[in-house]
Each structure stands twice: as structure tokens, then as C-alpha cells.
Homo-oligomer: A and B are copies of this chain.
Amino acid sequence: MTVSTGGEQGFLYDQVSRHVLGLIEQGTLRPGERAPSLRGLSRQLKVSISTVKQAYGSLEERGVLKVRPQSGFYVSGLPQQAPPVPRRHAVCCKPRKVRFGELFEEIFLLANNPEIVPLGAAVPSPDLLPGKGLLRATRRAAGLHAEAAIDYCFPPGLPALRRQIARRYAEFGVSVSPDEVVITSGATEGLTLALQAVARRGDVIAVESPTYFSVLRLIERMGLLAVEIDTDPETGMDPEALEMALETMDIRAVLTVPNFNNPLGALMPVAHKQRIAQLVAEHGVTLIEDDIYGDLYFEGERPPPIRRFDEAGRVITCSSFSKTLAPGYRVGWVLAGSRVDDVLEWKQATTSATASLPQLGVSEYLRSGEYDRHLRRLRQAFRDQVEHMRLLVARHFPPGTRITQPAGGFVLWVEMPRGNDCLEVFHNALEAGISITPGILFSATRRYRNCIRISCGHASSDEIEAAVEKLGQILSG
């Protein structure tokens, strides 16, 4: 075993780091993959194991590698070299009608072509979902409850499932009674019911900016007005901007995605969550939160929904299993707090029962205990895919590009250099067989023309790498 002197060791140690960084830059080593073993790299580069260890330790500090106990070092990404995150923009604080008309439908029609590289829709790849396990659980449930599988399951929905959902909230410190869990056809129906319960045509809803376009589409259809609130790419909706809006405008409800919002992936700090819960209580408005990405955190613990800080019963929480288990099962829910009767009445009137078999299947899957094991794998896969995509965008997009660094979820928001128009990029990308989502859809005021959203729902592949390279060529620097 060679023991090097101070100066020599410093040199070697940098060499080792550069070697590993090079492998990652070239794509030989991808995020999520195992780095060469200490012993292997020591032999290959002819340096001591302790030198490799030191290099790996420094790469770990810089966030490039990550140690997994009993397993070794794994590639996280190249954070230092990635482009900066998008700037936070001050948005014009005036309620607006949303008018997209056919733009939505046109984009979705084009983007749903299965032949296309799927960087558009925020849909997890079926490969990442436990399809077989869930279908097995569904078959078991249908065997056990054949009559219930066929019969109506009237609102609020399957009692066993509502208890399981309430229990999951208890695990991260949110106390929920099964009585206020209303099962819905996905989180989309949850948001619809929440808005129907609290707002009428002409009412103003405060939203993030940028915000998930389905929220804007719903606001448009319901004849509501949207007011966009400054939203930080890393910390989400800004409590001060919200406070100002609440003080100057007649706002009916605030709609926010506190955990890994779509498209920014921002995680609202606990202090902001507390402040916003306090603000809506003070102003007597309802807060509707969409917590659909909350289980997809990359580090640490499951972040709480704002509901955890709601003492006034002013928060309606919507979520679903669509991003973590089975989009097609359409099993979502609303925690309706003090509005549970309103939400229930709207549910009964507009769609009545939710499909029974998917509820039975999800309930049985949860009962089996497989869900938490699956979530651990899924979080890791999304973390790796997001990091890899950031690397690819960093490598292939022109200088001046900015990318979010989400703390969870599986979408990236990319601010393109000036002169790029998202609709042009959208159409040119489609011609090249690639779908992305144009930024213009994420605002009621058609800002974000220089932004696109890239979904990382599918595992990294040569096809995806080539698609990102192609996107880089489509963009002008």
C-alpha cells in the first residue's frame, strides 16, 4: 500500500475527482448508478485506496456522490456545474379572466401521441409503477368483495380506504378523521369540488405563478378570475406577496401546491406554511392545497401539508394516488375540514359514486404494506431521473439557460435564453418527435413564453438523452 506525501496526495486526489467528474459529464456514469468501488478505482488509477476515499468524500460534500450504507458510493449529479435556477419574477397583481380556449386541447391532442419522446405530460412511466402488484391486489379484493366491486360505493367512499388515508396522515403528524376524507375521481375532481364548494362565477382565486395549467383550465371553465402571486422557484408561494394581495383584493380562495409544486418543484418552508395558514384564517378565506407530490420528497422526511398548521378549519387538502401508484385508477381524495358537507353535496350532485373496484384494489394494496416499499424505490428513481435530466439540460442547452433544482416530484422548469418562444420550441420539438410543455400554459397572463416544463417521469435512456440534445439544438443561444 502506497502512502503519499501531502503535496503529491493533493494532486492525486484532484486527479481522481476530475476523472470521476469526467465520467459523469460524458454520461458514462449516470445519476443513480454506482460509482467505481474504492478498490477498483485505486487499482485502475494506481493511487491508494485512502486517496480515492478522500476524493469520494470531497465529491460527496459537493453533492456529486452519495454514500449508501453497505452498498457504496452512488452518483447524485453535478450540482456545481448545473445552470442557475430561474429567477423569481414579480407578477402583476390584478385578477384576470383565464382565456385559453382551444390552446389547451390542441397541445394535449398533439402531445398525447404515443410515438413521441414523453417529456411533456407529468405522468410517471408505467415501468416505475407497481402495476402487477396492484392488479394482483385488485384481483384479491374482487375475490373477497365480489358484490361490493360491482355495486355502488356512494360518497364519501370506501370506509376502509378512508381509514387508511387518515392513518397515513397521522404518520407524519397530521390529525385527520376518516369522516372528513371524501374519495374523489383523482385529485382533479378534488380541486373541482373544493372550488365549487367555496367559489362562484366571478370570484377571485389566488394562485401560484407559474401554476399547474389544469388549475387555470378549471378556473377558466368555472368563470372564476385568477390572481397570480409571486412564487419563488425554491420556496414556493410568497407569504408577503399573498398578504399584500389579501389586503388589497377581494380574494375568495387561495390555491397552492406547497410540496414540490408543478412546474417549479418548490418546497414551501414550514415557516411559510404556518404564515399562510395564519393569513387565510385572518382574512377569512379558504385555502385549497394540492398535495399530490408530497410523498415524492428526495431528502429527509415527508414534508407536511399546510393542513398541519390549520387551526381555523380553513384548509381543504386534495391529493391522489395518480402520481405514485396508478394514474388510471382515479383514486383521489379531499380532506375537506369544515367544508366537508359542501364538498360532499357537490360530489353527490355532480358525479355521485366513485368507481368501486379501484378503491377496493388500492385499499388492498395499502393493506399489504407494499406501498411504502414501493414509494422508497420511486422516490429514489425520480431523484435520479431529475438529477440526470438537469445534467443533460446543462450539457446540451445553450448558455443563459436556467433550470430549477427541485427537492421532490419529477418535473423541471427551464427558463430558456432570451429570444426563445415556448410555442415555437413546442412545435419544432414535436416535429422532431419530442413533447415538452410550453411555459405559456402555466399563467393566466401568458407570461413564461421563454419557459418550458420537462417531465422526468420516464427512466433515463439513450432516446431521452438524444431528445434533450435535439432540444438543445432547437433552442437558440
Contacts and interface: CB of A to CB of B under 8 A. Distances in A.
Interface in A114-159: 123, 126, 129, 131-132, 134-135, 138-139, 142, 146-154
B357 A151 contact: no
A131 B152 contact: no
A330 B353 contact: yes
Contact-residue size bin, chain A (C-beta under 8 Å from the other chain): 35 or more
Interface string A211-250: 0001001101111000000000000000000000000000
A221 B350 contact: yes
A129 B142 CA distance: 15
Interface stretch (A185-193, A286-294, A436-444): A185-193
A138 B142 contact: yes
Interface string A349-372: 111111111100100000000000
B345 A221 contact: yes
Interface string A162-192: 0000000000000000000000011011001
A328 B149 contact: yes
A276 interface: no
A328 B452 CA distance: 40
A344 interface: yes
Given A188-B350, A200-B201, A135 B149 contact: yes
Nearest to A361: B357
Given A131-B150, A217-B349, A357-B357, 20 more contacts: A104-B348, A105-B344, A123-B152, A135-B149, A138-B142, A151-B327, A152-B327, A185-B351, A214-B349, A218-B349, A220-B349, A221-B345, A221-B350, A328-B353, A328-B355, A329-B355, A329-B356, A330-B354, A355-B358, A357-B358
